[in-house]
Amino acid sequence: MVKKFFNILSREISGLHEAAYLLGAFAILSQVLALLRDRLLAYTFGAGATLDLYYAAFRIPDFLFVIVASFFSASIIIPFFSEKVRISKDHGREFLSAMFSVFLMAIVAASAVAFFLAPYLVPKLFPSFAEEPYRSQIITLTRILLLSPIFLGLSNLFASVTQFYNRFFIYGVSPLLYNLGIIFGVVWLVPRFGVIGLVWGVVLGALMHFLVQAPFVLHQKLMPKLVFSLKKYRTVLSVMVVALPRMLALSAQEVSEFFLVSVASFMSLGSISVFTLSWNLQSVPLSIIGVSYSLAAFPTLSALFAAGERGKFVELLETTARYIIFFSLPLVALFAVLRAHIVRIILGSGAFSWQDTRLTAAALAFFVISLAAQGLILLFTRARYAAGNTKKPFYINISSALVTVISAAILSKTVVMCPDFRIFIENLFRVEDVPGTSVLMLPLAFSIGSIFGALIHIYTFNRDYGGVSKSLGRVTFESSLVAFAMGLVSYITLNIASNYFTLDTFLGVFSQGVIAGLSGVMCGIILLALLGNRELKEVAVALHKKIRKIPVIGPDAAGEI
């Protein structure tokens, strides 16, 4: 039974659509668990001080993860590992051992420094938590969470092996285990140890995220070992030189998120929770669409560019970008119309009040505006990495982060100094009687920065390689038209359904939302068919045949065991 389970985990997935759909399916499962996790958190703590502390405590560990683990991510390592393992498996193992050793020493050293500096860093980063009892709580939570980047970083390193060999099943299982660890913390550890049990659940999830990758790496006889040799570290230096712009780009984004959470800490109590919970909700469609397609396409993009097949490289990028836009824009309309139902169904229970629901729903609407843009940024960034160009993603992403920070600063002041603007926003989302609406400026600023970044990515890539802007313009127009129709039909259906279903019960809210959503989806499919939409036809063919015409990764057959 155990052997059969590991055989399933180790199954090779070799087609673009098959890989994307598999990753999408796992993303759905992972996000279901993530939503259950957030529901439990909202039910237990509500949008208040405790949840604010919990989310704020992630900032330092997450920043360490970005500045250290980004040097060792699969998107950076795969091209180097591919080159080494094609020479011999021994060369591949030596390369992994060197990367493993340097990462482990770096992340442990950085975590140790952060552990001792936490009492000095936290009050500076989050002045609103500088006084007791918040100060000691957030320091303790931060220190425990410093274990998570160690395990997650090791997991990312091992993921370069599982992705290289097309073992997307293993890659897809790991986030499920991560969320299960957090859920275990909420359900079993929090009642016994309080909020401390919650962060230990996070650490448990990170450990399982890493351990599930290990058996396949061991089976391939690629398990790395600690090495202490400057000569063997030379390869690591070449990887770090390539990865430096990526690290800077990711750290710029992390700094912008740091800034947004820090600004939220100065707003009304619960603002950090509202910001983070709405962020997590919009991450569901982003993970299912943008992350899945960009991950599935990346290894093939790397192989095509390395083989000098620039035409196929651009064609695959254009195809993947079309699908991200095709699926994302209609979801923007549905999320915008059904935002309150989505939040109420997923989070609205226990200590999470109706006011928390309305404010989180409005924040969610601002986040999903940039859903397609976020997915395209992921795709174009990975495409640049596949082409060996890490500088342009750095310049573009850091510019996007700066636009986010500047927009947040301007909007946060505008909403306070300009009552008419604040009233317009509150009336638009029907939150005029809800306190704390200033937090809505943060997701709006994030979306502005994301859309700016996506447009620059498209413009520069089209200038360098050509062949993408025309087709993306066509699918954007058609998808926008369909999205508008879907949103309109869903809104009308919602109003009709309100005469038959009460919003006082979970069943009533769920039924009303599902009927309105399905009506919008049916309208969208019919309209796409009438337009003769290319993407709808391709998806129908792919689902019908279940045949993969484009390999995701192309290692030599001799390299497989």
Which residue in 261, 247, 278, 252 sits closest to 400, CA to CA? 252
Which residue in 356, 380, 539 sits closest to 450, CA to CA? 380
Residue 536 lies in a domain: no
Q: Which structure tokens are listed for 391?
A: 């500088």
Last residue of a domain, which of 442, 467, 492? 467
Last residue of a domain, which of 440, 467, 494? 467
CA angle 533–384–157, rounded 5-degree value: 110
Diameter of the chain measured on Cα atoms: 74
pTM of the model: 0.79
- pLDDT tens string 172-205: 788 899 999 999 999 999 999 988 999 999 999 9
Residue 179 lies in a domain: yes
Domain ranges, residue 14:
9-45+49-243
The Cα-based distances of 209 to 129, 175, 204, 332, 408 in angstroms read 31, 6, 9, 30, 34
Q: Do both 318 and 201 map to the same domain? A: no
Inform me whether the pLDDT recorded for 550 exceeds 60: no
pLDDT at site 555: 31
Residue 533 lies in a domain: no
* Tally of domains within the chain: 2
Residue 56 lies in a domain: yes
Helices (H), 348-390: 354-368, 371-386
Which residue in 200, 222, 216, 479 sits closest to 326, CA to CA? 479
**Residue 140: how many CB atoms within 10 A of its CB?**
16
Last residue of a domain, which of 425, 449, 467? 467
Inform me whether the pLDDT recorded for 557 exceeds 60: no
- pLDDT tens string 231-270: 777 777 777 777 777 677 667 777 788 889 888 888 888 8
Q: Do both 40 and 101 map to the same domain? A: yes
Place of tokens 């169904």: 345
Binned at pLDDT 50, 70 and 90, residue 375 comes out as very high
Q: Do both 239 and 302 map to the same domain? A: no
pLDDT at site 502: 72
Residue 303 lies in a domain: yes
DSSP 10: T
pLDDT at site 364: 95
- pLDDT tens string 14-44: 555 566 667 667 767 877 888 889 899 988 8
Q: Which structure tokens are listed for 396?
A: 């573009």
